[in-house]
Amino acid sequence: MLSIRDLRVEFAMRRGVLTAIDGVSFDIGRGEVLGVVGESGAGKSVTGAAIIGLVDPPGRVADGEIRLGGERIDGLSEDEMRAVRGRRIGMIFQDPLTSLNPLFSVGDQLVETMRSHLDLTAGEARRRALALLVEVGIPAAEERIGAYPHEFSGGMRQRVVIALALCAEPELVIADEPTTALDVSVQAQILALIKRLCRDRGTAVMLVTHDMGVVANTADRVAVMYAGRLAEIGPVSDLIDQPLHPYAVGLMGAIPSLDQDARRLVQIPGTMPRLSAIPGGCAFHPRCPQAFERCAARRPPLVAKDGRTVACHLYDGSAEAAR
Ligand code: SF4
């Protein structure tokens, strides 16, 4: 459904060009949830912004291809991209109030969004809006369809945003930290709702999060990003049970487990480099406990290993050659 190839996003600054996303490629299939994880500054949200054509200036997509349903959507005009957002790509952000207009009832917002993208009468749109509110779990939806966003709790507002993201039957939903602002008790319900509704509709989901627990419970596959590059991508169970890339090993070690003997909390030493100071070779080498000579000199290519794709010299034959 979504296919990204060699995506490169650059920011032209006074002191030179900074590369925020550097050669990222991945696919998301129908009804599949791809978790995109990494620390703050890894490039997760910029990748999402590039897909929806909303990279803030002076940033721009400098290279690569973004295809939705086989059709290229990078390089569309602002008007064409506006039609893609909302209709073909639904968005769920951390703060529901960024997606909702405080001046209109939730019902009116759903009806308006549907009618701007789909050929529906006002009555049909209203019936669909009500059905969607019921489906996302708004209690007494028939009475609450006329309520305003501030009249809902945070969790209920995020349910309304999910209805809004899905109301035009998009092919892709980008959910960027959709539960970070919510109480822990409602996080799991919201994630389960996104997963169920998108799977039922065959909608692809890109789930951007810094929280490995969220990915472990929700995603089918996971892409680990570091310094604007892909470190490892593969099925979520493989990556959690047996991560290959040393950065992924550190991230997975940070998932708390009931089985504390098997999985202690691990801290990755150091911090993510600033865009202006991304190290040469493997960007992770100053923090990597397994770094060897080649790591500082050459950027590792993405190679296939055990059903995943990983960018690390430990798996491209360099480590054996160095012994
Ligand atoms: Fe560590 Fe080298 Fe692999 Fe980078 S390429 S993750 S520095 S072992």
What's the CATH number where 201 sits? 3.40.50.300
* Domain presence at residue 276: yes
Cα 307 to middle of ligand 1, angstroms? 19
Residue 75 domain boundaries: 2-88+170-257+265-322
Phi first, then psi, for residue 111 (nearest 5°) are -60, -45
pLDDT tens for 198-217 read 999 999 999 999 888 889 98
- What's the whole-number mean pLDDT along residues 111-139? 95
Task: Specify the residue with its C-alpha closest to ligand 1, atom 5.
Answer: 312
* Domain presence at residue 70: yes
* Domain presence at residue 97: no
Of the residues 225, 244, 282, which should be mutated to test ligand 1's pocket, given the most ligand atoms within 8 Å of the CB?
A: 282
Task: Specify the residue with its C-alpha closest to ligand 1, atom 8.
Answer: 291
> Do residues 51 and 44 touch, judged by C-beta distance below 8 A?
no
Task: Specify the residue with its C-alpha closest to ligand 1, atom 3.
Answer: 312
Cα 32 to middle of ligand 1, angstroms? 29
With a cut of 50, say whether residue 263 has pLDDT above it.
no
* Domain presence at residue 160: no
* Domain presence at residue 181: yes
- Give the whole-number percent of the chain exceeding pLDDT 70: 95
| Ligand 1 in reach of 61 Cβ (< 6 A) | no
Who contacts 323 (Cβ-Cβ below 8 Å, separation ≥6)? none
* Domain presence at residue 34: yes
| Ligand 1 in reach of 222 Cβ (< 6 A) | no
Cα 295 to middle of ligand 1, angstroms? 6
With a cut of 80, say whether residue 260 has pLDDT above it.
no
Cα 17 to middle of ligand 1, angstroms? 25
Q: Give the pLDDT score at 19.
A: 95
* Domain presence at residue 105: no
pTM: 0.92
Q: Give the pLDDT score at 269.
A: 84
Query: Where do runs of H (alpha helix) occur along the chain?
Result: 44-51, 78-87, 106-117, 122-135, 141-144, 154-166, 184-201, 212-218, 236-241, 246-253, 293-297, 318-322
What letters, b where the CB count within 10 A reaches 16 and e where it falls short, cover 154-192? bbbbbbbbbbbbbbbebbbbbbbbbbebbeeebbeebbe
What single letter denotes the amino acid at residue 116? S
Domains held by the chain: number: 1
Extract the tokens encoding 72: 């290229």
Distance separating alpha carbons of residues 23 and 25, to the nearest angstrom: 7
* Domain presence at residue 125: no
Cα 275 to middle of ligand 1, angstroms? 19
With a cut of 70, say whether residue 258 has pLDDT above it.
no
> Do residues 36 and 206 touch, judged by C-beta distance below 8 A?
yes
Distance separating alpha carbons of residues 92 and 176, to the nearest angstrom: 6
With a cut of 50, say whether residue 262 has pLDDT above it.
no
